[in-house]
Amino acid sequence: MRFHTFVLKNVLRRRIRSTLTLTGVAAAVGMFVTLVGISDGLQATLLDLYQQRHIHLIVSRSDAVNPMAGTLPEKLGQDVAALDGVQGVSPGLVDMLSFDNLGINGVVVQGWPAGAFMFRELTILEGQGLTVESRGKKGIMLGKDLAKNAHLKLGDNVEVSGENYRVVGIYESKSDIENNWAVLLLEDAQKLTGKTGLITGLTVRLKDDSDESIKAARAAIEGPVADKLRVKGKVQAKPPQEFLNTQTQLRAFKAMAWAVSVVALLMGMLFMLNTMIMSVFERTREIGILRAIGWRPSRVIRMILMESVLLSLGGAIVGTVGGIGLTLLLSRLPLANGAIPNSLSPAIMAKGFVIALVVGLLGAAYPAFRGARLLPTEAIRHE
Amino acid sequence: MSKHEHPPGNGNGVLLRAEHLTKLYPDGQVNALVDVTLEIRRGEYVAVMGPSGSGKSTLLNMLGALDRPTSGETYFEGRPMSQIPNWNRLRAQKIGFVFQSFYLLPVLSAMENVQVPMFESPLPASARAQRAVELLEEVGLGHRIHHPPEKLSVGERQRVAIARALANEPVILLADEPTGNLDSKSAADVFDLFAALHRQQGMTIVLITHDDALGRRAERIVRMQDGQVRSDMPSPGPQAAGAPACGSATPAAVVGPPVGLRVVPGVSSRRPKSILPPFAVPDRG
């Protein structure tokens, strides 16, 4: 018999209690991998999207609570495009609008000027894209998932915030989020949102992506360009990673995910502590016997810690599998709007296991210490 | 060959010496032990007898490195125990304990129970398992190695516990009322086993018993009362009790030559296949 076999047999001894403890840890780990996984995944998806499109800088309003809230003059796009080292600029106006005739509220609509490089990042599945010729024709492009969920086909009419638009194209983006959005020409979006001459941000491609080049472009945009348009101090130009890190909504979601996970993990740890204390207390005499027949205190500690770690890693396996299932399920809900990635990264699963290990070790530390401190003679007398 | 080379009957070397041992428990004013001085020689078979509360178990705990005296000193193989830093190792390597209530682990089979002390030995898992089987065969339980304690009779359980006590080849067996929970027949079998271990392997044995008849089967009887040794003399032998000690045990089987001992080739003569007299071998429970 190997020592780990002995440990396993001890764990299997109280099947109901072990199962409950394992379930408690599984719930905590499952919650962690799901919530933190989704929040990390969302950020990673967005980052990936920016990187795929070779976007080096995102220019937005620095005092805006969210990217849709703050506006900048449209002319900023031309001024930035005129800078040395800038390869291309795509101004955009993003807002949430409603499809009145369909009773759908809160559709994210992006407005881009005809010919903007962002149009080339979308694959047209049906119909055509919005071009210079589309001006004044009130056309709208829908992401494939939005079209599917809203049961809209090419040529259908959509009443966008009180105005009729016709579906001229259905596109596919590499981003699931964008597949749930719609695209209008910038001037149409400005009109619908009442933000004539304004944009919510710019995406900027540079000729070379060296740190120096990015730094120089940032300085120029936030300095002289902003100054010229009298928005100095209100413009920020950030690389995608930095931009996403400072997004209030993403940060709030991340903070919430961590807060809930930490509470769940603390509860898991208390659960483990309770289980292991009971287990040690019940086996007081047995531990006394083990000590009497020569077991060192360190072996008693090892036994208790290994039992706990076995339970917590079991919980991690169950919790991770549950988390993968839950994430997949959530990502398929229409409510998710493509904002929930359908898989968890190996990194978050590894984190789940490490955290479970810590939960197991911390939860069992005190019981193990108590077990090891038992005096054999007193422990054997224990009733 | 066993790691401890003591030919049977070697009674010259002192294995354990207790000098002026006193134990005062902090919770009570009772002196559990009062100035006890005692020597246990290698290969000796000693019964410690006396009424409840006379200090027998306390003395055994001191001898077995389980508890420290309030004053006095115990010498193990000549070394003062107060100067031995690692009592765990001492207990693991040199001392075998047998308890009244067996204290086998319920989730483990007989064979696995015997292996528990061996986690502290350098033996690999396969050797531990093999040794456990050999030990169980020695105590006559070769046919019960995979049985959990609940499927064994009380007598068999105590024999598993004895095999466990022998796991790390101790130099001394300490038994605290090993037959206290046994019926008379099982008690006799267990005593036969102790007698055989002593006689054939030269095992030093100190056991506590309430049973006068069983106590007489030891070589020497130490009688205690009120924490003190009242008498310490050679056993008068089982015949002195008049009737046979108990059960089916006969005096010849107890003190006579190893009748019918089965020595299996390939196994050390110190480790016969079974050290039980034939009448006590298997099939009960």
| Chain A nearest C-alpha distance from B247 (Å) | 30
Residue B279 pLDDT > 50:
no
Q: Is A291 in contact with B120 (Cβ distance < 8 A)? A: no
pLDDT category of residue A175 using cuts at 50, 70 and 90: confident
Per residue, what are the HEC states of chain A? CCHHHHHHHHHHHCHHHHHHHHHHHHHHHHHHHHHHHHHHHHHHHHHHHHHHCCCCEEEEECCCCCCCCCCEECHHHHHHHCCCCEEEEEEEEEEEEEEHHHCEEEEEEEEECCCCHHHHHCEEEEECCCCHHHCCCCEEEEEHHHHHHCCCCCCCEEEECCEEEEEEEEEECCCCCHHHCEEEEHHHHHHHHCCCCEECEEEEEECCCCHHHHHHHHHHHHHHHHHHCCCCCCEEEECHHHHHHCCHHHHHHHHHHHHHHHHHHHHHHHHHHHHHHHHHHHCHHHHHHHHHCCCCHHHHHHHHHHHHHHHHHHHHHHHHHHHHHHHHHHHHCHHHCCCCCCCCCHHHHHHHHHHHHHHHHHHHHHHHHHHHHCCHHHHHHCC
The more confident residue out of A212 and B273 is A212
| Chain A nearest C-alpha distance from B172 (Å) | 12
Q: Which residues of A touch B61 (CB under 8 A)?
A: 377
- Closest chain A CA to residue B67: A377
Which pLDDT belongs to residue B276?
Answer: 59
Which 3 state secondary structure label does DSSP give B63? helix
Q: Does B157 touch chain A (CB under 8 A)?
A: no
Question: What amino acid occupies position A381?
Answer: R
Q: Which residues of B touch A9 (CB under 8 A)?
A: 107-108, 112
| Chain A nearest C-alpha distance from B12 (Å) | 27
Environment class of B206 (CB within 10 Å of its CB; exposed 0-12, middle 13-18, buried 19+):
buried
Q: Is B117 in contact with A293 (Cβ distance < 8 A)? A: yes
Q: Is A9 in contact with B116 (Cβ distance < 8 A)? A: no
Give the tens place of pLDDT for each residue, B57-74. Answer: 999 999 999 999 999 999
Q: Which residues of A touch B91 (CB under 8 A)?
A: 292-294
Which pLDDT belongs to residue A340?
Answer: 79
pLDDT category of residue A52 using cuts at 50, 70 and 90: confident
Overall average pLDDT of the A340-355 stretch = 89
Q: Which of residues 64-93 of B touch A (CB under 8 A)?
A: 64, 66-67, 88-89, 91-93
Which pLDDT belongs to residue B266?
Answer: 35
Q: Which of A285, A293, A297 sits opposite B116 (nearest CB)?
A: A293
Q: Is A292 in contact with B64 (Cβ distance < 8 A)? A: yes
Which pLDDT belongs to residue B47?
Answer: 96
pLDDT category of residue A270 using cuts at 50, 70 and 90: very high
pLDDT category of residue A319 using cuts at 50, 70 and 90: very high
Percent of chain A residues past pLDDT 70, beyond the cut: 98
The CATH superfamily label for domain B14-280 reads: P-loop containing nucleotide triphosphate hydrolases (3.40.50.300)
Q: Is A294 in contact with B164 (Cβ distance < 8 A)? A: no
Which pLDDT belongs to residue B1?
Answer: 43
The more confident residue out of B283 and A205 is A205
| Chain B nearest C-alpha distance from A301 (Å) | 14
What lies within 8 Å, CB to CB, of A172 at 6+ separation is A122, A123, A125, A143, A144, A179
Which pLDDT belongs to residue B29?
Answer: 60
Overall average pLDDT of the A334-353 stretch = 82
Give the tens place of pLDDT for each residue, B173-219. Answer: 999 999 999 998 999 999 999 999 999 999 999 999 988 888 999 99
Q: Which of residues 197-256 of B touch A (CB under 8 A)?
A: none
Q: Which of B88, B91, B105 sits opposite A286 (nearest CB)?
A: B105
Which pLDDT belongs to residue B22?
Answer: 93
pLDDT category of residue B237 using cuts at 50, 70 and 90: confident
Which pLDDT belongs to residue A68?
Answer: 74
Overall average pLDDT of the B223-244 stretch = 79
Q: Which of residues 102-131 of B touch A (CB under 8 A)?
A: 103, 105-108, 111-112, 115-117, 119-120, 125, 128-129
**What is the length of chain B?**
285
Strands B220-225 and B45-49: parallel
pLDDT category of residue A335 using cuts at 50, 70 and 90: low
Contact A319, A356 (CB under 8 A): yes
| Chain A nearest C-alpha distance from B143 (Å) | 18
Give the tens place of pLDDT for each residue, A199-226. Answer: 999 999 999 989 999 999 999 999 998 8
Q: Is A294 in contact with B61 (Cβ distance < 8 A)? A: no
Overall average pLDDT of the A48-63 stretch = 90
Residue A332 pLDDT > 70:
yes
Which pLDDT belongs to residue B262?
Answer: 35
Give the tens place of pLDDT for each residue, A122-160. Answer: 999 999 999 999 999 999 999 999 999 899 999 999 999
Integer Rg of chain B from CA: 18
pLDDT category of residue A65 using cuts at 50, 70 and 90: confident
Overall average pLDDT of the B89-99 stretch = 94
pTM assigned to the model:
0.78
Q: Which of A1, A289, A375 sits opposite B115 (nearest CB)?
A: A1
Q: Which residues of B touch A377 (CB under 8 A)?
A: 61, 66-67
Domain boundaries, chain B: 14-280
Which of A12, A287, A293, A381 would you mutate first to test chain B, the one with the most B CBs within 10 A?
A: A293
| Chain B nearest C-alpha distance from A7 (Å) | 11
| Chain B nearest C-alpha distance from A36 (Å) | 40
| Helix (H) or strand (E) run with residue B209 in it | none
pLDDT category of residue B94 using cuts at 50, 70 and 90: very high
User: What mean pLDDT value characterizes chain B?
Assistant: 82
pLDDT category of residue B12 using cuts at 50, 70 and 90: low
Q: Which of A285, A286, A294 sits opposite B117 (nearest CB)?
A: A294
Q: Which of B66, B88, B128 sits opposite A296 (nearest CB)?
A: B88
Number of A to B CB contacts under 8 A, please give it.
Answer: 67
Strands A163-172 and A139-143: parallel
Overall average pLDDT of the B121-130 stretch = 94
pLDDT category of residue B273 using cuts at 50, 70 and 90: low
- Chain centroid to Cα A366, Å, comes to 35
Which pLDDT belongs to residue A381?
Answer: 81
Q: Does B54 touch chain A (CB under 8 A)?
A: no
Q: Does B280 touch chain A (CB under 8 A)?
A: no
Q: Is B92 in contact with A2 (Cβ distance < 8 A)? A: no
State ipTM.
0.80
Which pLDDT belongs to residue B275?
Answer: 63
Residue A103 pLDDT > 90:
no
Strands A163-172 and B31-41: unpaired
Q: Which residues of A touch B103 (CB under 8 A)?
A: 285-286, 289, 380
Q: Is A289 in contact with B129 (Cβ distance < 8 A)? A: no
Which pLDDT belongs to residue A377?
Answer: 86
Percent of chain A residues past pLDDT 90, beyond the cut: 70
Q: Please, what is the end-to-end C-alpha distance for chain B in angstroms?
A: 33
Which 3 state secondary structure label does DSSP give B85? coil
Q: Which of B64, B103, B120 sits opposite A289 (nearest CB)?
A: B103
Residue A67 pLDDT > 80:
no
If phi > 0 it is left, if psi is from -120 to 50 it is alpha, else beta; for residue A333 that is: beta
